[in-house]
Amino acid sequence: MTVRSISIKDVARRAGVSPTTVSRVLNNSAHPVNSKTRRRVKAAIAELNFHPNRLAQGLINNKSHLIGVIVHDLSDPYFAEMVKGMERVIIKYDYIVNIYNTSRDVDKELKAVDLLRANRAEAVVLTGGTLLDQHYREEMAGYIKELQSNGSIVLGVTAHPFNIKSIELGNSLAARLITNYLLEQGHRAIAYINGPAILGTTNERWQGFQEALLARKIPIRDKWIVAGDFSFEGGRRAARQLLDEITGLTAVVASNDEMALGVMWEFKNQGLAIPDDLSVVGIGNIPAAKYAYPPLTTIALPIFDLGVQIGEYLINTLGDKGSFNDQPEVQLSLVERDSVRSLLEV
């Protein structure tokens, strides 16, 4: 059934040279090749439409040409954008980008890394926050160690409890910035909607929120701290929960945009006006934030750019040209839209 594809030997025969010479032409080897011979070889390659077998190449250089990317939820524009940014760079260098969607499930995440290890991935990127789970931590540490001892790069976006290079996203700073913005607008009674408990990102943002309030000595009220899961539906649930304790509340910080949109939707659904009755902010600046009603005030995380930077970092580090030690850097910025009411001009 499967026909043997043409190999370097076929080309050699056709060009009347040895496979070695073909290989040299193919790889622009430093070894000299007569320009006439080179032309003959190139002609033969073209005529036979020959392409070297990557598996054989990989076997001999111990290179898989595979880059693994672990993603929590591909439908979340946060991850989709990051992957697109990475791919934009990586595709030029003919690496295979292998994406795993894990839904923040411990077993799926472990399975993904296990497969990447088995496939000798040259790099693995953990694009989401770390999972807070003992079993995960132990198993993952083993896989990562093995990957690294095989010369693979392992990279994490935001802090991970492993010995890997991590790219700081400024989660804590983002939460602090957006909270400070509310404070500057005169808000003092502020609710906070957390992310999924299993995520490190959740802790980091929660930290930033607390810092902002503590810096102004504003007490944190338990009844206004609500659990969430980073989804639109989670935002809706949180909003319904807040409704019971709404007296005195003037603003809500959702720890990501999806939830902020859910919160606004549910509040509107319950007859509240935003921002007149209640201000709402998020973190992330996903595309939908711009078109919400009202448009959402949030912190922009330039995720696509981050993806591009990660891609460049990987290519430079994987290339033989010695490691390129730039630390990708993310610029956060406040995106002021219409979901916050100022309490100053009362």
Minimum distance from residue 90 beta carbon to a copy of itself (Å)? 10
Residues at the site binding a copy of itself, with contacts judged by CB under 8 A: 1-5, 49, 51-56, 58-59, 62, 64-66, 74-75, 77, 80-81, 83-84, 87, 91, 94, 96-101, 108, 111-112, 115, 117-120, 146, 149-151, 232, 261-262, 265, 268, 287-288, 291, 293
Element (H, E) at 77: helix 77-90
Give the E-state strand segments of the chain in sequence order: 66-71, 96-101, 123-126, 153-157, 165-167, 190-193, 225-226, 251-254, 279-281, 298-300, 333-335
11-19, 68-76, 194-202, 213-221 -> range binding DNA (CB under 7 A):
11-19
Nearest to 157, CA basis, from 70, 73, 98: 70
- Three-class secondary structure of residue 323 per DSSP: coil
Minimum distance from residue 41 beta carbon to DNA (Å)? 9
Partner in contact with 29, chosen from a copy of itself, DNA, none, beta carbon below 5 to 8 Å by kind: DNA
Which one among 1, 13, 27, 147 touches DNA, defined by CB under 7 A? 27
Partner in contact with 119, chosen from a copy of itself, DNA, none, beta carbon below 5 to 8 Å by kind: a copy of itself
How many CB atoms sit inside 10 A of residue 323's CB?
11
Give the nearer residue to a copy of itself in terms of CB position, either 162 or 265.
Answer: 265
Nearest to 213, CA basis, from 242, 181, 239, 246: 181
Surface-to-core class of residue 310, CB atoms within 10 Å of its CB (0-12 exposed, 13-18 middle, 19+ buried): buried
Give the nearer residue to a copy of itself in terms of CB position, either 159 or 318.
Answer: 318
Residue 328 C-alpha from the chain's centroid:
13
Give the nearer residue to a copy of itself in terms of CB position, either 13 or 84.
Answer: 84
- Three-class secondary structure of residue 126 per DSSP: strand
Which 49-68 residues touch DNA, going by CB under 7 A? 50-53, 56-57, 59-62
Q: Can residue 342 be called a binding residue for DNA (CB under 7 A)? A: no
Inter-residue contact 328 to 310 (CB < 8 Å): yes
Q: Can residue 23 be called a binding residue for DNA (CB under 7 A)? A: yes
How many CB atoms sit inside 10 A of residue 287's CB?
9
Minimum distance from residue 3 beta carbon to DNA (Å)? 9
Minimum distance from residue 24 beta carbon to DNA (Å)? 6
In the Cβ-directed half-sphere of 206, how many Cα atoms lie within 13 Å?
Answer: 17
Give the nearer residue to a copy of itself in terms of CB position, either 110 or 182.
Answer: 110
**Residues of this chain that bind DNA (CB under 7 A):** 4-5, 7-9, 16-21, 23-24, 26-27, 29, 31-34, 36-38, 50-53, 56-57, 59-62
